[in-house]
Structure 1
Amino acid sequence: MQALNNIDLVSALDTLLSLSAAFVLGGLIGLERQYRQRTAGLRTNVLVAVGAALFVDLANRLNGHEGAVHVMAYVVSGIGFLGAGVIMREDGNVRGLNTAATLWASAAVGAAAGADLLVEALAGTLFVLAANTLLRPIVNRLNRQPLDVPSAEVTYTVHVIAERNHQKLVLAQLEDELERSSYPTRDLDIHPFGEDATEIEATLAATSIEGDELDALVQRLAALPTVRQVFWSPSTSE
Protein backbone atom coordinates (compact mmCIF):
# COMPACT_ATOMS: atom_id res chain seq x y z
CA MET A 1 0.00 0.00 0.00
CA GLN A 2 2.93 2.31 0.55
CA ALA A 3 3.53 2.28 -3.20
CA LEU A 4 0.01 3.62 -3.79
CA ASN A 5 0.52 6.35 -1.21
CA ASN A 6 3.70 7.45 -3.01
CA ILE A 7 1.86 8.07 -6.27
CA ASP A 8 1.96 11.78 -7.08
CA LEU A 9 0.74 12.59 -10.56
CA VAL A 10 2.31 16.05 -10.62
CA SER A 11 5.67 14.68 -9.50
CA ALA A 12 5.38 11.76 -11.92
CA LEU A 13 4.69 14.18 -14.77
CA ASP A 14 7.79 16.14 -13.79
CA THR A 15 9.84 12.93 -13.82
CA LEU A 16 8.44 11.98 -17.23
CA LEU A 17 9.43 15.39 -18.58
CA SER A 18 12.96 15.04 -17.19
CA LEU A 19 13.41 11.53 -18.61
CA SER A 20 12.01 12.57 -21.98
CA ALA A 21 14.44 15.48 -22.16
CA ALA A 22 17.34 13.21 -21.20
CA PHE A 23 16.23 10.66 -23.81
CA VAL A 24 16.04 13.20 -26.64
CA LEU A 25 19.21 15.12 -25.75
CA GLY A 26 21.22 11.96 -25.05
CA GLY A 27 19.92 10.64 -28.37
CA LEU A 28 21.24 13.70 -30.22
CA ILE A 29 24.70 13.12 -28.76
CA GLY A 30 24.49 9.39 -29.45
CA LEU A 31 23.42 9.89 -33.08
CA GLU A 32 26.65 11.75 -33.84
CA ARG A 33 28.67 8.96 -32.16
CA GLN A 34 26.68 6.24 -33.98
CA TYR A 35 27.20 7.97 -37.33
CA ARG A 36 30.95 7.82 -36.79
CA GLN A 37 30.64 4.17 -35.67
CA ARG A 38 32.18 4.73 -32.25
CA THR A 39 32.19 2.16 -29.47
CA ALA A 40 29.54 3.97 -27.42
CA GLY A 41 26.81 4.92 -29.87
CA LEU A 42 23.16 5.91 -29.77
CA ARG A 43 21.80 3.46 -27.21
CA THR A 44 24.74 3.80 -24.82
CA ASN A 45 24.55 7.59 -24.68
CA VAL A 46 20.77 7.52 -24.28
CA LEU A 47 21.01 4.99 -21.43
CA VAL A 48 23.70 7.01 -19.68
CA ALA A 49 21.69 10.24 -19.96
CA VAL A 50 18.40 8.65 -18.89
CA GLY A 51 20.02 6.74 -16.03
CA ALA A 52 21.71 9.87 -14.69
CA ALA A 53 18.44 11.80 -15.04
CA LEU A 54 16.47 9.16 -13.14
CA PHE A 55 18.97 8.97 -10.27
CA VAL A 56 19.07 12.75 -9.86
CA ASP A 57 15.30 13.11 -10.22
CA LEU A 58 14.66 10.49 -7.54
CA ALA A 59 17.17 12.09 -5.19
CA ASN A 60 15.63 15.50 -5.83
CA ARG A 61 12.17 14.13 -5.07
CA LEU A 62 13.13 12.23 -1.92
CA ASN A 63 15.76 14.49 -0.36
CA GLY A 64 15.43 17.83 -2.12
CA HIS A 65 18.26 19.79 -3.71
CA GLU A 66 20.85 18.59 -1.20
CA GLY A 67 20.15 14.96 -2.05
CA ALA A 68 20.32 15.71 -5.77
CA VAL A 69 23.75 17.32 -5.34
CA HIS A 70 25.04 14.24 -3.50
CA VAL A 71 23.78 11.92 -6.24
CA MET A 72 25.36 14.10 -8.93
CA ALA A 73 28.72 13.62 -7.21
CA TYR A 74 28.27 9.84 -7.36
CA VAL A 75 27.24 10.03 -11.03
CA VAL A 76 30.40 12.00 -11.86
CA SER A 77 32.65 9.41 -10.21
CA GLY A 78 30.65 6.36 -11.26
CA ILE A 79 30.58 7.21 -14.96
CA GLY A 80 34.39 7.02 -14.94
CA PHE A 81 34.21 3.21 -14.72
CA LEU A 82 31.99 3.07 -17.80
CA GLY A 83 34.27 5.46 -19.65
CA ALA A 84 37.32 3.37 -18.81
CA GLY A 85 35.70 0.42 -20.54
CA VAL A 86 35.73 2.13 -23.95
CA ILE A 87 39.38 3.25 -23.79
CA MET A 88 41.70 0.89 -25.64
CA ARG A 89 45.44 0.80 -26.22
CA GLU A 90 46.45 -0.66 -29.57
CA ASP A 91 50.07 -0.84 -30.72
CA GLY A 92 51.10 2.15 -28.68
CA ASN A 93 48.07 4.20 -29.73
CA VAL A 94 45.38 5.07 -27.18
CA ARG A 95 41.87 5.13 -28.63
CA GLY A 96 38.48 5.88 -27.11
CA LEU A 97 39.34 8.93 -25.02
CA ASN A 98 36.88 11.12 -26.90
CA THR A 99 34.14 8.49 -26.61
CA ALA A 100 34.73 8.25 -22.85
CA ALA A 101 34.58 12.02 -22.51
CA THR A 102 31.34 12.07 -24.52
CA LEU A 103 29.79 9.52 -22.16
CA TRP A 104 30.83 11.69 -19.24
CA ALA A 105 29.17 14.70 -20.87
CA SER A 106 26.01 12.66 -21.61
CA ALA A 107 25.78 11.87 -17.90
CA ALA A 108 26.07 15.59 -17.14
CA VAL A 109 23.28 16.37 -19.61
CA GLY A 110 21.10 13.69 -18.04
CA ALA A 111 21.85 14.95 -14.53
CA ALA A 112 20.82 18.47 -15.56
CA ALA A 113 17.58 17.14 -17.04
CA GLY A 114 16.91 15.15 -13.88
CA ALA A 115 17.39 18.28 -11.80
CA ASP A 116 14.76 20.06 -13.97
CA LEU A 117 17.38 22.33 -15.52
CA LEU A 118 16.19 21.77 -19.07
CA VAL A 119 17.73 24.89 -20.59
CA GLU A 120 21.10 23.96 -19.12
CA ALA A 121 20.72 20.39 -20.40
CA LEU A 122 19.96 21.66 -23.90
CA ALA A 123 22.93 24.04 -23.78
CA GLY A 124 25.20 21.21 -22.66
CA THR A 125 23.99 19.04 -25.55
CA LEU A 126 24.73 21.75 -28.09
CA PHE A 127 28.23 22.28 -26.74
CA VAL A 128 28.99 18.53 -26.76
CA LEU A 129 27.82 18.26 -30.37
CA ALA A 130 29.88 21.32 -31.30
CA ALA A 131 32.99 19.79 -29.72
CA ASN A 132 32.53 16.53 -31.64
CA THR A 133 31.69 18.12 -35.02
CA LEU A 134 32.85 21.72 -35.40
CA LEU A 135 36.24 21.12 -33.79
CA ARG A 136 36.98 17.94 -35.78
CA PRO A 137 38.28 19.69 -38.96
CA ILE A 138 40.50 21.96 -36.83
CA VAL A 139 41.98 19.01 -34.95
CA ASN A 140 42.59 17.07 -38.17
CA ARG A 141 44.33 20.06 -39.75
CA LEU A 142 46.56 20.60 -36.72
CA ASN A 143 47.41 16.91 -36.42
CA ARG A 144 48.54 16.77 -40.04
CA GLN A 145 50.99 19.64 -39.73
CA PRO A 146 54.64 18.49 -39.87
CA LEU A 147 56.16 18.44 -36.40
CA ASP A 148 59.94 18.75 -36.25
CA VAL A 149 60.28 16.93 -32.94
CA PRO A 150 62.62 13.91 -32.93
CA SER A 151 61.18 12.65 -29.66
CA ALA A 152 57.56 12.43 -30.80
CA GLU A 153 55.81 9.68 -28.83
CA VAL A 154 54.09 8.01 -31.80
CA THR A 155 55.09 7.91 -35.45
CA TYR A 156 53.23 6.25 -38.33
CA THR A 157 54.80 4.45 -41.29
CA VAL A 158 53.23 3.22 -44.51
CA HIS A 159 54.90 0.09 -45.94
CA VAL A 160 54.53 -0.71 -49.64
CA ILE A 161 56.01 -3.85 -51.19
CA ALA A 162 56.09 -3.61 -54.97
CA GLU A 163 57.78 -5.16 -58.00
CA ARG A 164 61.29 -3.78 -58.38
CA ASN A 165 60.80 -2.98 -62.06
CA HIS A 166 57.93 -0.62 -61.19
CA GLN A 167 59.53 1.01 -58.16
CA LYS A 168 59.46 4.56 -59.51
CA LEU A 169 55.83 4.30 -60.61
CA VAL A 170 54.67 2.93 -57.26
CA LEU A 171 56.70 5.55 -55.40
CA ALA A 172 55.06 8.33 -57.38
CA GLN A 173 51.60 6.87 -56.74
CA LEU A 174 52.34 6.58 -53.02
CA GLU A 175 53.46 10.21 -52.85
CA ASP A 176 50.36 11.32 -54.75
CA GLU A 177 48.04 9.44 -52.39
CA LEU A 178 49.75 10.84 -49.29
CA GLU A 179 49.65 14.36 -50.68
CA ARG A 180 45.97 13.98 -51.60
CA SER A 181 45.23 12.86 -48.03
CA SER A 182 47.30 15.74 -46.56
CA TYR A 183 49.81 13.41 -44.89
CA PRO A 184 53.30 14.82 -45.58
CA THR A 185 56.24 12.45 -45.16
CA ARG A 186 59.14 13.00 -42.78
CA ASP A 187 61.36 10.16 -44.04
CA LEU A 188 61.33 7.91 -47.09
CA ASP A 189 63.32 4.68 -47.09
CA ILE A 190 63.64 2.24 -49.99
CA HIS A 191 65.38 -1.13 -49.73
CA PRO A 192 65.32 -4.54 -51.49
CA PHE A 193 62.68 -7.07 -50.48
CA GLY A 194 63.50 -10.55 -51.70
CA GLU A 195 64.90 -11.17 -55.18
CA ASP A 196 62.54 -9.10 -57.34
CA ALA A 197 60.68 -6.76 -54.99
CA THR A 198 61.26 -3.48 -53.17
CA GLU A 199 59.89 -2.21 -49.88
CA ILE A 200 59.07 1.49 -49.61
CA GLU A 201 58.69 2.87 -46.09
CA ALA A 202 57.11 6.33 -45.80
CA THR A 203 57.23 7.76 -42.27
CA LEU A 204 54.53 10.37 -41.85
CA ALA A 205 55.30 13.81 -40.44
CA ALA A 206 51.90 13.94 -38.73
CA THR A 207 51.92 12.69 -35.15
CA SER A 208 48.20 11.89 -35.05
CA ILE A 209 46.09 10.31 -37.76
CA GLU A 210 42.61 9.07 -38.54
CA GLY A 211 42.97 5.30 -38.78
CA ASP A 212 39.95 4.96 -41.08
CA GLU A 213 41.44 7.40 -43.59
CA LEU A 214 44.80 5.64 -43.60
CA ASP A 215 43.06 2.27 -44.03
CA ALA A 216 41.27 3.64 -47.10
CA LEU A 217 44.58 4.94 -48.48
CA VAL A 218 46.14 1.49 -48.01
CA GLN A 219 43.22 -0.14 -49.85
CA ARG A 220 43.63 2.19 -52.82
CA LEU A 221 47.33 1.39 -53.05
CA ALA A 222 46.72 -2.35 -52.66
CA ALA A 223 44.44 -2.25 -55.71
CA LEU A 224 47.37 -1.28 -57.96
CA PRO A 225 48.51 -4.23 -60.11
CA THR A 226 52.24 -3.66 -59.41
CA VAL A 227 51.79 -3.59 -55.63
CA ARG A 228 52.09 -6.87 -53.75
CA GLN A 229 51.34 -5.75 -50.21
CA VAL A 230 50.53 -2.54 -48.33
CA PHE A 231 50.09 -1.89 -44.62
CA TRP A 232 50.68 0.83 -42.06
CA SER A 233 51.98 0.62 -38.52
CA PRO A 234 52.49 2.94 -35.54
CA SER A 235 55.67 2.90 -33.49
CA THR A 236 56.47 4.44 -30.13
CA SER A 237 59.65 5.96 -28.83
CA GLU A 238 60.42 5.43 -25.16
Structure 2
Amino acid sequence: MLTNLEMCIRLMLAASLGSLIGFERERLLWAAGLRTHMLVCVGSCLLMIVSAFGFQDALAMPHTELDPSRVAAQVVSGIGFLGAGSILLRGEVIKGLTTAASLWTVAAIGLAVGGGLYVVGTAATVIILIILVAIKPMERIYRNRVQVHVLKLLAPSRAVTLSTVNEVLGNRASKVKQFIVEKGEADDTDSITLELKRTSEAQAREILLQLLKIEGVQEDTAGQ
Protein backbone atom coordinates (compact mmCIF):
# COMPACT_ATOMS: atom_id res chain seq x y z
CA MET A 1 0.00 0.00 0.00
CA LEU A 2 1.35 3.42 -0.94
CA THR A 3 1.80 6.16 1.62
CA ASN A 4 -0.25 9.36 1.29
CA LEU A 5 2.95 11.24 0.44
CA GLU A 6 3.73 8.88 -2.45
CA MET A 7 0.20 9.29 -3.81
CA CYS A 8 0.46 13.08 -3.63
CA ILE A 9 3.82 12.97 -5.39
CA ARG A 10 2.28 10.98 -8.23
CA LEU A 11 -0.54 13.49 -8.56
CA MET A 12 1.87 16.44 -8.59
CA LEU A 13 4.10 14.77 -11.16
CA ALA A 14 1.07 14.06 -13.36
CA ALA A 15 0.04 17.72 -13.10
CA SER A 16 3.56 18.85 -14.06
CA LEU A 17 3.83 16.56 -17.07
CA GLY A 18 0.33 17.47 -18.24
CA SER A 19 1.15 21.19 -17.92
CA LEU A 20 4.12 20.87 -20.27
CA ILE A 21 1.92 19.56 -23.09
CA GLY A 22 -0.95 21.86 -22.16
CA PHE A 23 1.30 24.92 -22.36
CA GLU A 24 2.17 24.10 -25.97
CA ARG A 25 -1.55 23.95 -26.84
CA GLU A 26 -2.20 27.13 -24.80
CA ARG A 27 0.46 28.92 -26.82
CA LEU A 28 -1.62 28.28 -29.95
CA LEU A 29 -4.77 29.55 -28.18
CA TRP A 30 -6.65 26.25 -28.41
CA ALA A 31 -9.73 25.78 -26.24
CA ALA A 32 -8.16 22.70 -24.64
CA GLY A 33 -5.10 24.39 -23.19
CA LEU A 34 -3.01 24.38 -20.03
CA ARG A 35 -5.66 23.73 -17.39
CA THR A 36 -7.54 21.15 -19.47
CA HIS A 37 -4.45 19.03 -20.05
CA MET A 38 -3.42 19.29 -16.39
CA LEU A 39 -6.89 18.23 -15.23
CA VAL A 40 -6.99 15.27 -17.62
CA CYS A 41 -3.55 14.08 -16.52
CA VAL A 42 -4.24 14.46 -12.78
CA GLY A 43 -7.71 12.92 -13.11
CA SER A 44 -6.49 9.86 -14.93
CA CYS A 45 -3.62 9.51 -12.44
CA LEU A 46 -6.08 9.65 -9.53
CA LEU A 47 -8.34 7.06 -11.16
CA MET A 48 -5.37 4.76 -11.62
CA ILE A 49 -4.36 5.15 -7.96
CA VAL A 50 -7.91 4.50 -6.80
CA SER A 51 -8.16 1.47 -9.08
CA ALA A 52 -4.87 -0.04 -7.93
CA PHE A 53 -4.88 0.85 -4.23
CA GLY A 54 -8.34 2.08 -3.27
CA PHE A 55 -9.84 -1.35 -2.69
CA GLN A 56 -7.20 -2.91 -0.44
CA ASP A 57 -9.76 -3.59 2.29
CA ALA A 58 -12.02 -5.37 -0.20
CA LEU A 59 -9.16 -7.69 -1.16
CA ALA A 60 -9.16 -9.08 2.37
CA MET A 61 -12.62 -10.49 1.73
CA PRO A 62 -12.77 -14.09 0.47
CA HIS A 63 -13.15 -14.75 -3.25
CA THR A 64 -12.31 -11.14 -4.17
CA GLU A 65 -9.93 -10.21 -6.99
CA LEU A 66 -8.72 -6.83 -8.25
CA ASP A 67 -8.13 -5.88 -11.89
CA PRO A 68 -6.73 -2.30 -12.11
CA SER A 69 -6.64 -2.48 -15.90
CA ARG A 70 -10.44 -2.23 -16.06
CA VAL A 71 -10.41 1.38 -14.85
CA ALA A 72 -7.53 2.22 -17.18
CA ALA A 73 -9.54 0.89 -20.11
CA GLN A 74 -12.51 3.04 -19.12
CA VAL A 75 -10.29 6.15 -18.96
CA VAL A 76 -8.96 5.48 -22.46
CA SER A 77 -12.46 5.19 -23.91
CA GLY A 78 -14.01 7.89 -21.73
CA ILE A 79 -11.51 10.59 -22.70
CA GLY A 80 -13.04 10.47 -26.17
CA PHE A 81 -15.78 12.94 -25.27
CA LEU A 82 -13.18 15.61 -24.44
CA GLY A 83 -11.33 14.88 -27.65
CA ALA A 84 -14.54 15.19 -29.65
CA GLY A 85 -15.21 18.54 -28.02
CA SER A 86 -11.86 19.91 -29.17
CA ILE A 87 -12.46 18.97 -32.82
CA LEU A 88 -14.09 21.80 -34.73
CA LEU A 89 -15.53 22.13 -38.21
CA ARG A 90 -14.41 25.42 -39.73
CA GLY A 91 -15.60 26.12 -43.22
CA GLU A 92 -15.20 22.74 -44.87
CA VAL A 93 -12.11 21.73 -42.92
CA ILE A 94 -11.82 19.81 -39.66
CA LYS A 95 -9.38 21.26 -37.12
CA GLY A 96 -8.39 20.18 -33.65
CA LEU A 97 -7.39 16.58 -34.30
CA THR A 98 -3.89 17.18 -32.92
CA THR A 99 -5.30 18.68 -29.71
CA ALA A 100 -7.71 15.75 -29.36
CA ALA A 101 -4.78 13.35 -29.76
CA SER A 102 -2.75 15.27 -27.17
CA LEU A 103 -5.61 14.98 -24.66
CA TRP A 104 -5.77 11.25 -25.28
CA THR A 105 -2.01 10.82 -24.78
CA VAL A 106 -2.03 13.04 -21.67
CA ALA A 107 -4.60 10.67 -20.16
CA ALA A 108 -2.19 7.82 -20.90
CA ILE A 109 0.62 9.74 -19.17
CA GLY A 110 -1.58 10.17 -16.11
CA LEU A 111 -2.32 6.44 -16.04
CA ALA A 112 1.40 5.68 -16.33
CA VAL A 113 2.32 7.99 -13.45
CA GLY A 114 -0.59 6.70 -11.37
CA GLY A 115 0.74 3.20 -11.90
CA GLY A 116 4.23 4.24 -10.76
CA LEU A 117 5.84 4.22 -14.21
CA TYR A 118 7.65 7.54 -13.72
CA VAL A 119 10.36 7.06 -16.32
CA VAL A 120 7.92 5.91 -19.00
CA GLY A 121 5.53 8.78 -18.26
CA THR A 122 8.32 11.36 -18.41
CA ALA A 123 9.76 9.85 -21.60
CA ALA A 124 6.33 9.90 -23.22
CA THR A 125 5.97 13.60 -22.30
CA VAL A 126 9.28 14.43 -23.97
CA ILE A 127 8.37 12.47 -27.09
CA ILE A 128 4.96 14.13 -27.33
CA LEU A 129 6.51 17.60 -26.98
CA ILE A 130 8.96 16.76 -29.75
CA ILE A 131 6.07 15.70 -31.98
CA LEU A 132 4.04 18.84 -31.23
CA VAL A 133 6.86 21.39 -31.39
CA ALA A 134 9.84 20.07 -33.34
CA ILE A 135 7.99 18.24 -36.11
CA LYS A 136 5.95 21.29 -37.15
CA PRO A 137 8.86 23.03 -38.95
CA MET A 138 9.53 19.78 -40.79
CA GLU A 139 5.93 19.85 -42.02
CA ARG A 140 6.49 23.33 -43.44
CA ILE A 141 9.67 22.19 -45.20
CA TYR A 142 7.78 19.26 -46.70
CA ARG A 143 4.96 21.53 -47.86
CA ASN A 144 7.41 23.84 -49.55
CA ARG A 145 9.04 20.89 -51.27
CA VAL A 146 5.74 19.62 -52.66
CA GLN A 147 4.78 23.19 -53.65
CA VAL A 148 2.10 23.92 -51.08
CA HIS A 149 1.44 27.59 -50.35
CA VAL A 150 -0.77 29.18 -47.69
CA LEU A 151 -2.59 32.48 -48.26
CA LYS A 152 -3.94 34.56 -45.38
CA LEU A 153 -6.71 37.06 -46.10
CA LEU A 154 -8.93 39.48 -44.20
CA ALA A 155 -12.44 40.18 -45.52
CA PRO A 156 -15.76 41.62 -44.38
CA SER A 157 -17.87 39.07 -42.54
CA ARG A 158 -19.43 36.47 -44.89
CA ALA A 159 -18.09 38.33 -47.94
CA VAL A 160 -15.91 35.40 -49.06
CA THR A 161 -17.27 31.87 -49.28
CA LEU A 162 -16.04 28.75 -51.03
CA SER A 163 -18.45 29.40 -53.88
CA THR A 164 -17.09 32.94 -54.20
CA VAL A 165 -13.54 31.62 -54.39
CA ASN A 166 -14.54 29.07 -57.04
CA GLU A 167 -16.22 31.77 -59.09
CA VAL A 168 -13.28 34.19 -58.90
CA LEU A 169 -10.54 31.62 -59.54
CA GLY A 170 -12.32 29.62 -62.22
CA ASN A 171 -10.15 26.71 -63.33
CA ARG A 172 -7.57 27.61 -60.71
CA ALA A 173 -10.07 26.76 -57.97
CA SER A 174 -8.87 23.17 -58.23
CA LYS A 175 -5.61 24.35 -56.65
CA VAL A 176 -7.39 25.09 -53.36
CA LYS A 177 -6.68 22.21 -50.99
CA GLN A 178 -8.12 23.79 -47.82
CA PHE A 179 -10.46 26.74 -47.26
CA ILE A 180 -10.86 27.90 -43.63
CA VAL A 181 -12.95 30.83 -42.46
CA GLU A 182 -12.59 32.06 -38.87
CA LYS A 183 -13.88 35.11 -37.04
CA GLY A 184 -11.41 37.98 -37.34
CA GLU A 185 -10.03 40.02 -34.48
CA ALA A 186 -12.10 43.05 -35.52
CA ASP A 187 -15.90 42.99 -35.47
CA ASP A 188 -17.65 41.96 -38.69
CA THR A 189 -14.47 40.59 -40.25
CA ASP A 190 -13.37 37.11 -41.28
CA SER A 191 -9.88 35.66 -41.22
CA ILE A 192 -9.50 33.38 -44.24
CA THR A 193 -6.84 30.74 -44.83
CA LEU A 194 -6.36 29.08 -48.21
CA GLU A 195 -3.92 26.25 -48.71
CA LEU A 196 -2.92 25.80 -52.33
CA LYS A 197 -1.55 22.54 -53.70
CA ARG A 198 0.89 22.02 -56.56
CA THR A 199 1.51 25.73 -57.14
CA SER A 200 4.70 27.63 -57.78
CA GLU A 201 5.48 30.90 -56.04
CA ALA A 202 4.42 32.82 -59.14
CA GLN A 203 1.13 30.92 -59.44
CA ALA A 204 0.34 31.47 -55.77
CA ARG A 205 0.96 35.19 -56.24
CA GLU A 206 -1.36 35.32 -59.25
CA ILE A 207 -4.11 33.57 -57.28
CA LEU A 208 -3.61 36.03 -54.43
CA LEU A 209 -3.97 38.99 -56.79
CA GLN A 210 -7.20 37.51 -58.15
CA LEU A 211 -8.65 37.15 -54.65
CA LEU A 212 -7.64 40.68 -53.71
CA LYS A 213 -9.97 41.93 -56.46
CA ILE A 214 -12.94 40.89 -54.29
CA GLU A 215 -14.35 44.00 -52.63
CA GLY A 216 -13.02 44.51 -49.11
CA VAL A 217 -10.49 41.66 -49.25
CA GLN A 218 -6.92 42.35 -48.20
CA GLU A 219 -3.85 40.26 -47.42
CA ASP A 220 -3.34 39.41 -43.76
CA THR A 221 0.37 40.10 -43.42
CA ALA A 222 0.18 39.77 -39.64
CA GLY A 223 -1.10 36.20 -39.94
CA GLN A 224 1.73 35.01 -42.14
Q: CA distance change for structure 1 residues 116 and 217 in 2, over 3 Å: closer, same or farther?
A: closer
* Aligned residue among 35, 49, 69 for 2:27: 35
Structure 1 residue aligned with 2:217: 230
Q: CA deviation at 1:47?
A: 0.2
Structure 2 residue aligned with 1:131: 131
Q: CA distance change for structure 1 residues 217 and 98 in 2, over 3 Å: closer, same or farther?
A: closer
Amino acid of the residue matched to residue 53 of structure 1? Answer: C
TM-superposition CA deviations, 1:148-198 (whole Å, max 9, x none)? xxxxxxx9888899xxxxxxxxxxxxxxxxxxxxxxxxxx9997xxxxxxx
Amino acid of the residue matched to residue 67 of structure 2? Answer: G
Structure 2 residue aligned with 1:44: 36
Q: CA deviation at 1:210?
A: 8.8
Q: CA deviation at 1:203?
A: 4.8
Q: CA deviation at 1:140?
A: 2.7
Structure 2 residue aligned with 1:69: 69
SS at match of 2:79: helix
Aligned partners of 1:131, 1:54: CA distance in 2, in Å?
A: 26
The answer (yes or no) to whether the contact 2:181–2:193 under 8 Å persists in 1 is no
Aligned partners of 1:133, 1:211: CA distance in 2, in Å?
A: 25
Q: Does 1:56 align with 2:48?
A: yes
Structure 2 residue aligned with 1:194: none
Structure 2 residue aligned with 1:17: 9
Larger Rg: 1
> TM-score, normalised on structure 1?
0.61
SS at match of 1:38: coil
Amino acid of the residue matched to residue 77 of structure 1? Answer: S
Aligned partners of 1:20, 1:158: CA distance in 2, in Å?
A: 41
The answer (yes or no) to whether the contact 1:83–1:103 under 8 Å persists in 2 is yes
Give unmatched runs, 5+ long, in structure 1. 1-7, 148-154, 162-187, 192-198, 233-238
Aligned partners of 1:127, 1:66: CA distance in 2, in Å?
A: 32
> TM-score, normalised on structure 2?
0.65
Structure 2 residue aligned with 1:142: 142
